[in-house]
Structure 1
Amino acid sequence: MKRLILFLLGSLTFVNSNIIAQNYPVLKTEIYPPKAKKIAKELKAHNTIRNDDYYWMNDRENPEVISYLEQENEYNEQMTAHTKQFQSDLFDEMKARIKEDDSSVPYKLNGYWYLTRFEKGKDYPIYSRKKESLDAPEEILFDVNEMAKGHEYYSLGGLNVSSDNKLIAFGVDTVSRRNYTIQVKNLQTGEILKEKIKTTTGGSTWANDNKTLFYTKKDDKTLRSNQIYKHVLGTKSNEDQLVFEEKDETYNTYIYKSKSKKYLIIGCHSTLTSEYRILEADNPHGEFRIVQSRERNLEYGIMHFEDSFYILTNKDGATNFKLMKTPEDKTGQENWVEVIPHREDYLLEDIDIFEHYLVISERNDGLNKIKITKWHSDESYYLPFNNETYTVYTSINPDFDTDILRYTYNSLNNPTSVIDFNMATKEKVVLKEQEVIGGKFNKENYKSERVWATAEDGTKIPISLVYRKDLKMDGSNPLLQYAYGSYGSTIDPYFSSVRLSLLDRGFVYAIAHIRGGEYLGRAWYEDGKLLKKMNTFTDFIDVSKYLIDQKYTSEEHLYAMGGSAGGLLVGAVVNIAPELYNGIIAAVPFVDVVTTMLDDSIPLTTGEYDEWGNPNEEAYYKYMLTYSPYDNVEKQSYPNMLITTGLHDSQVQYWEPAKWVAKLRELKIDNNKLLFHINMDAGHGGASGRFEALKEVAEEYAFLLDLEGITE
């Protein structure tokens, strides 16, 4: 558990002399940070030597490592003691906007209505269903509040009901390393079957016989999803049959069932290449067959409908993807026929297939578009959206034979709405709009807009902004700039009731849609990866300069935030341009890029080569060294910094930020705050539980507001 240590007058004394240098004078009003010991470690590659004095932290079983982390937590508690009440108030404020007794919009699948609901005062969801009618009695599938009792962390996922509606498979992770144990529940008796399948992704897929379960196994050490197994109910998990093994360490594998329920589909995926295998779900003991063998840089995805597969692919240089079709018995690319051609200005992101309609999700000029096309007709139209910047996406649509499309819409100043749209009549019904309770929120009080900064190379960088309409843009406003910028992942402008705690205290919030994401199409991603990765960092800096020049904020009031690869982003940025920011928040930051990418035993490393490059090749090694935050810490002033991690993080190991903090403490020449909070019970996603995670947000917001002198 997090230890909350009250600040007492007197010096802070650390007990482990091997880690902490205890040569400070005793001052009753001073608090001194931990000082990590240094053990010289030479890391050799490509005829160069890097010295890593904090490499010894790469061992979570070492008591000295745990002691150091605990002392960092104690220091953080001491340094933030004066904000503890404010953190509590912020938590209460954010929680008070959220409807506690809330529920999802039900959807119907195979004769049952499924919904997720929350009860007041409880942290976890209750999953339930009703047979045929919403007026039918509720059948509780899982009350996660009961299941989570006694656990510091609890995650339930991969819920998968058998075709006969009698069984449900589910995965549980109680450590937060995304390492799930699969079990099966009998929905007729409520019994949890004896089967326990460990070291999995948590997801699984039933064959149509309702007794054969396919699942994905993870490598014990690297946690790479590398094997597909078949389990027959009533047998022991050690008797499960290996169906497929992905031996290429740069790939992951997974299994699912087609929307048509006809096929079991095994997918294999690396950053740049895809491959699929199919098997009739009525024949679970048959042999899977390849749809199209993997070819370097050929990406494709498959959707089955009637007697064909529809294929979303970048074949033949279709950078922004195109849609093709092939007979289900002739799946090789030589049989693919074009349905929607490649377009330079439209990114084809996804499709939803219905009996009478094809729904196309695409992106143009950064904005989401939903296009409705009627089969065997020239009739097509776009759903209208009038906001300057917004987010829209299709939701759960499990049936083919319907005219109703369900989609979700929101923007930076508009709460999320779930909408049913009749594609035949063009009528829409708003089933639910996110309720911001408390009576104080009025979306008319906020303005969202999109502006464009110019990068050093002349590229226009879009920025989504939201702020209160009564703000004056005179450079005095605090501004939080957020971005991610990797893996082609797009941070769309979404609504957050939690964010109101900043906006209502005078903050501007900005999302920088920098290169490395796909906001402006696939080329936008390609221009921010591998040997062009520096564009991601300089784009972020150029956005900051623009926001300062346009008087949205100033250097004294500008803050940057990013998590995971976004933590790498802000870590690189503060090495390059620390003078632009008063503070940064780096959540679970990927900052020790070179050392991590050279260690293929670390989870996810080998699958990352197509994103960052393989440092075993000298060109990538040298390029990574130019931006790796840990390797580029130097004697200079740095902004105020709050850095967070989880001890059990499987994606960015805790030692990356731990080493970074230690090196920053050693080299930085300022008196700005450097705070490090390690959640000793959580992993990459932070705390579990609906409201527990808000405490982490409250801590981050209190850090920013405290720097602005805002105390309530």
Structure 2
Amino acid sequence: MMTSASDSVLSAPPVAKKVPVARTHHGETFTDHYEWLREKENPDVLAHLHAEQAYTDTVTAGQEKLRTDIFNEIKNRTQETDLSVPSRKDGWWYYSRMVEGSPYSIQCRVKADGDGSAVDDWTPPLVEPGVAVHGEVVLLDGNVEAKDQPFFSLGGAAVSRDGMLYAYSVDNAGDELFTIRIKDLRTGELLEEHIENTFYGLTFSPDGRTLYYMIADDSWRPFQVKTHVLGTPVTEDAVLYQEDDVAMWTGFDLSADRRHLAISIGCSEFSETLLLDFDAPEKGLQTLIPRSEHILYDAEPFLWEGQEKVLLTHNRDAVNSMISLVDAAEFIKPLTEQHWDTVVPHEDAVRINGATVTATHMVVSLRKDTIERIQVTALDGLGTPSQVAAVEPGFDEELYTTSMGGSEFESPVIRLIYTSDFTPSRVYDYALPQTHAGTHARTHAEGELLLRKETPVLGGYRAQDYVATREWAVAEDGTRVPLSVLRRADLARDGSNAGVVYGYGSYEVSIDPGFGVPRLSLLDRGVVFVIAHVRGGGEMGRHWYEDGKKLNKKNTFSDFVAATDWLAQSGWVDPARIGAMGGSAGGLLMGAVANLAPEKYAAIVAQVPFVDALTTILDPELPLSALEWEEWGNPITDPAVYQYMKDYTPYENVRAVAYPKIAAITSFNDTRVLYVEPAKWVQELRSVSTGKEPIVLKIEMDGGHGGASGRYEGWKTRAWDYAFLADAIGATELR
């Protein structure tokens, strides 16, 4: 068959022109030839990005059938017409449902029975997929909202306490800036007022007359909490709080008992909480512990036996955090004179993640032996010698994750979400053991786990067909690095299989056991899937995080290489058939290991990769840059940080070696990791690599940090990523 001129052009990768731009810091000058690709409105940039996508489409055209197969496998295992377990709030049951063929969820509610005082009142109504619900009120249909829009994402929603008003925020670009609209649930009509360019976070005042919301600055840093009084012009909205420190993140939430608005300002190393008492708003915002004390803490105010209390999760003399109970009046004293009662003491082997309260219990999220757990303790006697022992709901699996799925302050139950690598998500209500005098009469359900739903998996899925084990790699400095190794149970350990290593390793984020339908498509093709719990994450406590940040960041990369070496030597795989995958900060990890050990990988998929980290963090005007100083260090002011980052940042350390197949995946409107980072990286890789493997840039022109919107587009994206890896490591056929 004849080859057309256009086919010939597409067979070669796009070559961006070189426009040298010098960057000088601390006496060192770096010449960047591709910085001009940052000019988002430049027609030449747009033309180049379209050419990159055309080249990618050509190079990966042979993977189309595999992509389609994986997409269909995901689709056929998913019950498309489904719904969430209803959650009770202010006399209503709230839930979302999905309809087969529709990409977005529908938010609904129905009226609840009972006064909520008994466990039985918290038994969700039976809502069956595809069956009309009597009395159902549709709050928001995402499919209607998304019609004729290039992108749709719901940023948040809130219902007024009286149930009359519904506020929600929508992003139609993928840039994570939202428009707030307010719906009158009595009439179904939208109010005239709407608020543009807002950030995540919105809630009503108790009387439903005021809406609180967040605004981000030009660098996409949330810095203002604003108030909108319903019925007044948006131009008159007042600033309740403004944070001027460019290195601090701001957000807000309601206290568990909804008596306070809590504004949180912080970074990864210290924080500050301001409280607005809804019963006494004239007092204004009250600071608990000022940031100048350099304590990292979360605060939960509540009223207990007529006294204002604050439950503090903090790192004061406690690297893994602890929990204290403090009378609210103590905070007017100097810190050294305040009295704090210990509720949960510090332990080297236990990481305290946070705590909240119900009317009768404290609920604690913690991590022990890498596992996320939930414990509950009665408030009666809390912080005194009569404090009762914590109770932890028990589960049978060795590797699992338990997290809070929400709770209401007056509820006798808390909602828990349970999952493991091969157990689909289960929703439980845990009936709190009641011990405090004056609570409702004891029932048989107290202390029991009440299963509300297990996510169905179709297509003949059987958990016993798969195995998850905990293994350990040894890093170059002798540190033992935990691995989660996932495979089919019938896979032969004969050294012939393919493998994939996945990692993240930043911001104290833990990659916990969790079920994923798409991953089954790799496992069913004989892939051994390894999750490397590298330093910089939170799996092993606060020290694990600190040993993988700032001037210890290189440990993240060497840990991942050690995980790869473990897999190569495990007897499960052929060392020539290993791929790697990671996204965002995990994409920086991918870029770093590509430079460190390119020979160890047949392919690397870097999703929205933070590969030009030094350039980004050196410019505080760019989105989120100043906020990153607490994670990576400040290379602007610290020459040691500058040099350390210069030694590992992927874009600046591309070298003349044979790189494996690489796919860099990005979105044009991503505000977290700008498209220009992978675009520049791909150009530099191609210009320097001595190998012949293709290096491609896949760009979603209507997407954000998470790619295109809608569940079907999400499945297509995952199918593309997995097909690229599976093709490269020779794992294309189902076993």
Q: TM-score per shorter chain, which class?
A: over 0.9
Q: What code does the residue aligned with 1:12 have?
A: S
Residue 271 of structure 1 is aligned with which of 260, 268, 271?
A: 268
CA contact (8 A) 1:298 1:313 kept: no
Shift of 1:297: 3.5
CA contact (8 A) 2:312 2:326 kept: no
Distance (whole Å) between structure 2 residues aligned to residue 422 and residue 482 of structure 1: 37
Residue 722 of structure 2 is aligned with which of 698, 701, 704?
A: 701
Partner of 1:407: 416
Residues 171-211 of structure 1: CA distance to partner in whole angstroms, max 9, x if unpaired? 11111111111121111111111212122114212112211
Partner of 1:600: 620
Task: Please show how residues 523-542 of structure 1 align to structure 2 within 5 Å.
Answer: 523-542=543-562
1:32 matched to 2:17? The reply is no
CA contact (8 A) 1:301 1:312 kept: yes
Partner of 2:430: 421
1:225 matched to 2:222? The reply is yes
1:96 matched to 2:105? The reply is no
Shift of 1:711: 4.3
1:60 matched to 2:40? The reply is yes
CA contact (8 A) 1:271 1:607 kept: no
Classify the secondary structure of the residue corresponding to 1:682: coil
Distance (whole Å) between structure 2 residues aligned to residue 544 and residue 497 of structure 1: 24
Residue 338 of structure 1 is aligned with which of 339, 342, 348?
A: 342
Residue 169 of structure 2 is aligned with which of 168, 171, 176?
A: 171
Partner of 2:666: 645
1:447 matched to 2:450? The reply is no
Q: What code does the residue aligned with 1:280 have?
A: D
1:388 matched to 2:382? The reply is no
Partner of 2:691: 670
Partner of 2:119: none
Q: What code does the residue aligned with 1:190 have?
A: G
The change in CA–CA distance for 1:312 and 1:536 in structure 2 (over 3 A counts) is farther
Task: Please show how residues 542-581 of structure 1 align to structure 2 within 5 Å.
Answer: 542-581=562-601
The change in CA–CA distance for 1:283 and 1:210 in structure 2 (over 3 A counts) is farther
Residue 201 of structure 1 is aligned with which of 182, 187, 199?
A: 199
Residues 460-491 of structure 1: CA distance to partner in whole angstroms, max 9, x if unpaired? 10001111011112222111111110000111
What is the percentage of aligned positions where both structures have the same residue? 38
Shift of 1:311: 3.5
Q: What code does the residue aligned with 1:593 have?
A: A
Partner of 2:110: 130
Distance (whole Å) between structure 2 residues aligned to residue 642 and residue 296 of structure 1: 45
Partner of 1:20: none
Residue 141 of structure 1 is aligned with which of 133, 139, 147?
A: 139
The change in CA–CA distance for 1:693 and 1:310 in structure 2 (over 3 A counts) is same
Partner of 2:652: 631
Distance (whole Å) between structure 2 residues aligned to residue 86 and residue 379 of structure 1: 53
Q: What code does the residue aligned with 2:368 have?
A: N
Partner of 1:180: 178
1:212 matched to 2:192? The reply is no
Partner of 2:284: 287
Q: What code does the residue aligned with 1:144 have?
A: G
Moved over 6 A (4+): none
Unaligned runs of 5+ in 1: 1-6, 14-25
Classify the secondary structure of the residue corresponding to 2:63: helix
Residues 402-424 of structure 1: CA distance to partner in whole angstroms, max 9, x if unpaired? 1x232111111111111122233
Distance (whole Å) between structure 2 residues aligned to residue 400 and residue 458 of structure 1: 50
Partner of 1:477: 497
Q: TM-score, normalised by structure 2?
A: 0.91
Classify the secondary structure of the residue corresponding to 2:320: coil
CA contact (8 A) 1:555 1:579 kept: no
Shift of 1:399: 2.9
The count of aligned residue pairs is 689
Distance (whole Å) between structure 2 residues aligned to residue 44 and residue 65 of structure 1: 25
Classify the secondary structure of the residue corresponding to 2:330: coil
Partner of 2:254: 257
CA contact (8 A) 1:388 1:448 kept: no
Classify the secondary structure of the residue corresponding to 2:246: coil
Q: Which moved more, 1:287-296 or 1:532-541?
A: 287-296
Q: Which moved more, 1:658-667 or 1:129-138?
A: 129-138
Q: What code does the residue aligned with 2:70 have?
A: L
Classify the secondary structure of the residue corresponding to 1:694: helix
Distance (whole Å) between structure 2 residues aligned to residue 487 and residue 613 of structure 1: 13
Residues 237-295 of structure 1: CA distance to partner in whole angstroms, max 9, x if unpaired? 11111111100000121222111111111111122111111112245565111112112
1:47 matched to 2:27? The reply is yes
Q: What code does the residue aligned with 1:119 have?
A: V
Q: What code does the residue aligned with 1:210 have?
A: G
CA contact (8 A) 1:217 1:227 kept: yes
1:357 matched to 2:361? The reply is yes
Q: What code does the residue aligned with 1:216 have?
A: M
1:314 matched to 2:322? The reply is no
Distance (whole Å) between structure 1 residues aligned to residue 731 and residue 628 of structure 2: 41
Unaligned runs of 5+ in 2: 114-124, 126-132, 382-386, 434-445
CA contact (8 A) 1:208 1:282 kept: no
Q: Which moved more, 1:303-312 or 1:315-324?
A: 303-312
Q: Which moved more, 1:264-273 or 1:168-177?
A: 264-273
Shift of 1:574: 0.8
Distance (whole Å) between structure 2 residues aligned to residue 230 and residue 286 of structure 1: 16
Q: Which moved more, 1:183-192 or 1:365-374?
A: 365-374
Q: Which moved more, 1:233-242 or 1:198-207?
A: 198-207
Q: What code does the residue aligned with 1:408 have?
A: I
Classify the secondary structure of the residue corresponding to 2:292: coil
Q: What code does the residue aligned with 1:410 have?
A: T
Partner of 1:154: 152
The change in CA–CA distance for 1:8 and 1:677 in structure 2 (over 3 A counts) is farther
Residue 375 of structure 2 is aligned with which of 371, 374, 384?
A: 371
Classify the secondary structure of the residue corresponding to 1:318: coil
Distance (whole Å) between structure 1 residues aligned to residue 159 and residue 2 of structure 2: 54
Partner of 1:12: 6
Q: What code does the residue aligned with 1:692 have?
A: E
Partner of 1:19: none
Residue 496 of structure 1 is aligned with which of 504, 516, 520?
A: 516
Partner of 2:526: 506
Shift of 1:622: 0.3
Classify the secondary structure of the residue corresponding to 2:82: coil
Distance (whole Å) between structure 2 residues aligned to residue 684 and residue 8 of structure 1: 40
Distance (whole Å) between structure 1 residues aligned to residue 732 and residue 216 of structure 2: 46
Q: TM-score, normalised by structure 1?
A: 0.94
The change in CA–CA distance for 1:413 and 1:312 in structure 2 (over 3 A counts) is same
